Structures are given as structure tokens and as C-alpha cells.
Structure 1
């Protein structure tokens, strides 16, 4: 039995995720049966190809190399969220994204794709990368989903509106190839989700281009929007700030017990925890809720908090 978890933000939560890896390695008895870290996903800002969540900041080459090595030495792939739906051919030559791809081009690391243009580019120039079909594609038709699973992808992330559509899920031909997003914060059947992905993608391109020219100058999105009246607007959706306790109430939520009692017996083993924009404490609760045994969560949390303070990820004695 395997429960392979894909966890968020190898860059922004670099130290936190390293400490969590050590906790899992040192105390496997605190965790549910079969728990593995399948990958850490995200991007190194300011990746123009990024999608799904706007990612700000700047990572230099030495940091990129250090993060890649730190996780790859543990046998854990990085999976790049290159799911920007607004990419054009001119964006494929982006210097920063290609630098990252070159540094991580060792046969272990992966990329999540949305744009057919970028997918073709990666297949041609970086053939060692395993590719994941993104949930951003919003494939909710059963036959289209089965067709997607049959294509040359390492993993297909299922649209979370299908999380409890057991009739559709049962008929998937290769369930081990499919990944379920278990803690989606978005409203079920949200009519604006695809529009939000496009707006975020456009903002990521604007941000990456700005940082390339003016690294130390904050981006003024209000001015950008005034000067470009056709630009799509995306003010952070209130759903993004939902806590774990609010997310549990959504009908597309998959609980830990459902993972082990329903989905794993069905043949699924890939599970994604979202949280690239969450703080450390919220992320810790999501990790322990899904992966730790209920009776061990308090002890695991106490130990993890101590290690996080030792590694200067948090400070609890100020």
C-alpha cells in the first residue's frame, strides 16, 4: 500500500519542507501506512511559465542549485508548476526558466504542464523530464478524462470537481497514474476558475518581465492596469484564504480516512496537498492532518515546532 503525497512550495517553504522530510524519516511510526513524499511542487520565482498561483520574489542561481540538490539527494523530485495558460511562442526562450530546467535536467525532476506550446517545447528540448497533465485544464468530462489518462503523461491530476464522482473514478483505466487534489480551497464547480487561471498567468508574465528589468523596484499593478485597460484583473479570491477547518466543509474535500478506506483500495496512490500561498502553521496542520496518525498528531506537531525553531523557520520565544 502506498500513499504518495505531492507537497507544495519547494522554494518559499524550503526549510520547512526539509525539516518535515527529516521528521518523516526519523519518526515513521507517527505516520499512516504507506506515506511517501512523491514530490515537492512549485517554482523558483520569478518563473514566467508559472501558473495556478502568482509567485513573487527572486531566486538566484546558487539558491536554485542548492534547493535542487537538497531534495534530489533525498531521492525526492521537484515538480515545476509550469501551467501558465497565457504563454506565447516568444515566452519559450525565457532565460530564467530555461536556466532552471538546465540545472534540474537530471532525469529525476518533473514538470506540470497546461499549454500545448510549452509541453511540446519541453518534450523536444528537455526529454528527461516526466510530465504531469495539470488540473488547470478543467477536464470534467469522463470520456475526455479517460483519453487524457491514456496519453503520454507520467501523472494526470484529476479536476477536483470529480473527487466524489465514484462512477467516473471507478472507470479510469490506470488509477495509479492519476493524482487527486485532496484539500482544494476553491468552491466546487466554480464558474470563474479558468478565468482566474488566465488572469494569474497574465500577471505572472507581467511580474517576471518587470523583475528582469527592475529587480529592486516593487511592481505597481494598479498603474499597469491603468496603462493596459484590456488586462484581466485578479484580486485574490477569498477562497484562497480558507483554513483547513473551512476546507473540510466543502463537498470536494477528501478526508484522510477516505484516502485509506476508499481511494487507495480503489487503486489510487497519488495525492496532492495544495498550499503554495499558505503560511507555515497552516501548512503544518494540513501535512499532519493528512499524513500523521490521528493519535500521533500532537506529538508530531510538538516535535516539528521544536525543529522549526532550531532551524530558524519560526520563532516562538520572542
Structure 2
């Protein structure tokens, strides 16, 4: 393997607090279990009651002060997922979301956004944060991705996963543009989905408290739910081989894992696959499973 340094952005900042209490300590105390070419770039998420939230809804009940303290203790960037795309000016004064910004305001931390209205507000009121352009924008046109990467407001840009296979055009990006691209690796959404933006907008409406029906997924395998094994068969999947032998040698270093709405047992399997040396998989499983404070089911 080529030993390019890469950074993973992990799901579940508020959703998997108990899990990360155990996992991050293991990561700190036993770095030898993990590939030396990878680091944790950030952990992202949002409380269930945050109206600025998007992407997923109804998850994340950990105490915000405890979450912020855990991230500071481990020196890991916390990213608030404020990717609601349907915000209006009256939503900007929401007390809950502003308190979260005040609590996490630190140059180490970031905010994932989809709304330019919210971005302008945050840049003015909370300039300590860095900002990430959300995958919920569904940037499937390559020219739009390049334009987004050229925006100085964003440190990172997460394109739609269907641009992942465009390795030839991605290779022709400038080094500055490449440094901003953050690939969503393990999406199991149908590659030919024509309704992805509507799905995200449905989540945004729910976050705002609107009474809307659940979005009906058009994927042929929707009834199976998320399975990492299905994601691995997705044409947009980026696995270990692809990271080290295709993307990293071309100058890309940022890789995002989805999974905020999944169980912690599934999250563990993803982290084992992407971060842990095979000879230590069982050791890490035992350390996590046998921790009496952690409920994986």
C-alpha cells in the first residue's frame, strides 16, 4: 500500500456518544491497532431537536456539554451537521442551535451547511468555525463541484457519491481543489436514484417541525435497510484499496463515512474495516463488546 496520510470524518457526534467514549480511548491508548496512515479528521452530527439539522432526523440525544468535553479531551474536530436546506430568516434566531454554536465555537470545530442563508449568518456571528459544503446539496454535476470547491467560504466540499467514480476528471483538479474534496465513501443509496434531493428536503421539513409524510425511497432494495455489504457493491463505494491506490496517490486525503442513523454495532464494523489492522479486529471487538457501559443493541 502507498502510505499517503488520509483523514476519516466519522458519523454520530451526538448519536454515538457512549460508543465514542470507549472507542476514542482505545484509539488513544492502542494506536498500534490502527493503520498508521489514517487519522480521525472529525466526528459529525446534530442533536435530534436542532431545527438547523439535516441529512438525518430524530437521532442524537447526548448532552452537548459532555460531547464538547469529549472532543476537546481527544483533540478531535467536532462538526455540527446543520445542513437543513429550507431555512428561512426567522429560523436563524433559534435559541437551541445558537447555544450549540456558542458551546462549540472553536477554531478546531466545523459546521456542515447546505443553506447559503445560514452560512452567511454563521460566518458573521461565529467566525471561529470552519465550514463544510454538505453532500445534501446533491452536487452531481462536475462543473458545480469545481465551482463549489472554488468558494473561499468552504474548507471542504462533499460531492454527491455518484461523482466518486469520475477519477479522470477528479485527477485534473488543481491541488487546492483536491484538498477541499471530501468523498462520501460508504453510501448504499441506489446509484441511479433520481429522488435524492427530495429525500433530503423531506428531512429538512421534518427538522422544522412540519407535518409531512415520510419520504418513500425509490431504491429497489430499500426494504433491506442499510447494509455495509450492499454499500460495497455500490458503483460509488470507496474502500480501502481505492483510498490507498486510487484516490490518495492523486492528492485526495478527506473521506467521510455515513451512518448516523445506524446502530453502534454497524458503526463498529465500518470502523474496523476502514481503520483497524486485520490482526486486531477481534481484539477491538472484544474491547468494545465487553465494556459494561456500552450497549450495542
Deviations along 1:188-242, one digit per CA (max 9) or x if unpaired, are: 13101000011110011117xxxxxxxxxxxxxxxx4xxxxxx464257727822
Quickly say closer, same or farther: Cα 1:265–1:33, change in 2 above 3 A.
farther
The answer as to whether partners of 1:185 and 1:242 remain within 8 angstroms in 2 is yes
Q: Secondary structure at the match of 1:132?
A: strand
Tell me which residue corresponds to 2:137.
137
Q: Shift in Å at residue 47 of structure 1?
A: 0.4
Tell me which residue corresponds to 1:198.
201
Q: Are residues 1:24 and 2:27 paired? A: yes
Tell me which residue corresponds to 1:117.
117
CA distance in 1, matches of 2:296, 2:208: 35
Q: Are residues 1:265 and 2:246 paired? A: no
The alignment's C-alpha RMSD in Å is 1.9
CA distance in 2, matches of 1:315, 1:83: 28
CA distance in 2, matches of 1:272, 1:315: 22
Tell me which residue corresponds to 1:246.
230
Q: Secondary structure at the match of 1:112?
A: strand
The answer as to whether partners of 1:109 and 1:129 remain within 8 angstroms in 2 is yes
Q: Shift in Å at residue 73 of structure 1?
A: 2.3
CA distance in 1, matches of 2:215, 2:191: 19
Q: Shift in Å at residue 169 of structure 1?
A: 1.2
Quickly say closer, same or farther: Cα 1:22–1:301, change in 2 above 3 A.
same
Q: Shift in Å at residue 298 of structure 1?
A: 2.3
Q: Secondary structure at the match of 1:206?
A: coil
The answer as to whether partners of 1:72 and 1:108 remain within 8 angstroms in 2 is no
TM-score normalized with structure 1 length: 0.85
Runs of 5+ consecutive residues of structure 2 not aligned to the other structure:
none
The answer as to whether partners of 2:46 and 2:80 remain within 8 angstroms in 1 is yes
Tell me which residue corresponds to 2:163.
162
Q: Shift in Å at residue 51 of structure 1?
A: 0.5
Quickly say closer, same or farther: Cα 1:87–1:240, change in 2 above 3 A.
farther
Structure 1 runs of 4+ aligned residues shifted over 4 Å read 56-59
Tell me which residue corresponds to 2:58.
55
The answer as to whether partners of 1:185 and 1:239 remain within 8 angstroms in 2 is no
CA distance in 2, matches of 1:239, 1:156: 30
Q: Which moved more, 1:83-92 or 1:15-24?
A: 15-24
Q: Are residues 1:37 and 2:21 paired? A: no
CA distance in 1, matches of 2:133, 2:52: 15
Quickly say closer, same or farther: Cα 1:57–1:294, change in 2 above 3 A.
closer
CA distance in 1, matches of 2:223, 2:85: 21
Q: Which moved more, 1:183-192 or 1:114-123?
A: 183-192
Matches within 5 A, 1:276-295: 276-295=260-279
Quickly say closer, same or farther: Cα 1:202–1:165, change in 2 above 3 A.
same
Q: Are residues 1:177 and 2:180 paired? A: yes
Quickly say closer, same or farther: Cα 1:88–1:256, change in 2 above 3 A.
same
The answer as to whether partners of 2:8 and 2:254 remain within 8 angstroms in 1 is yes
The answer as to whether partners of 2:15 and 2:61 remain within 8 angstroms in 1 is no
The answer as to whether partners of 1:49 and 1:84 remain within 8 angstroms in 2 is yes
Pick from 274, 278, 282 the counterpart of residue 258 of structure 2: 274
Q: Secondary structure at the match of 2:80?
A: strand
Runs of 5+ consecutive residues of structure 1 not aligned to the other structure:
208-223, 225-230
Q: Shift in Å at residue 57 of structure 1?
A: 6.2
CA distance in 1, matches of 2:254, 2:41: 8
The count of corresponding residues between Structure 1 and Structure 2 is 288
The answer as to whether partners of 1:182 and 1:271 remain within 8 angstroms in 2 is yes
Deviations along 1:154-198, one digit per CA (max 9) or x if unpaired, are: 111122101111122112223122111110021113101000011
